[in-house]
Amino acid sequence: MVTKKTAAPVAKKASQVLSSSSTGKNSKTAAGSALSQTGNSKVTSARAATAASKVLRDGRTSTAAKSAAGSALAQKPGTNNGGPRKK
């Protein structure tokens, strides 16, 4: 099980993303997921992980949104987060 939690600086960025009126749906989904994972054992859902992946691939996305999306993806269960790659 994933035991990572969203760090305070990333949580602040996620909050900024959520409060911005110009932020897209995928960015807000990823930011909401990252923000909900501060100080508890929640994990990223498949829907939020898909949104986070789209955010990271979108060249128009802010660095704050990308930070939140990266945090959300790092907390998705069933992935090899940071370990050696399987061949």
pLDDT for the residue numbered 2: 53
Global pTM reads 0.78
User: Do 43 and 76 form a contact (C-beta atoms < 8 A)?
Assistant: yes
pLDDT for the residue numbered 30: 95
Q: Which residue's structure tokens are 């829907």?
A: 47
User: Do 55 and 82 form a contact (C-beta atoms < 8 A)?
Assistant: no
C-alpha gyration radius of the chain: 12
In whole angstroms, give the CA distance from residue 26 to residue 55.
Answer: 6
DSSP string, 32-60: HHHHHTSSS-----HHHHHHHHHHHH-TT
In whole angstroms, give the CA distance from residue 25 to residue 8.
Answer: 23
Q: Quick one: average pLDDT of 15-29?
A: 95
- Tell me: the pLDDT tens digits for 30-44? 999 999 999 888 889
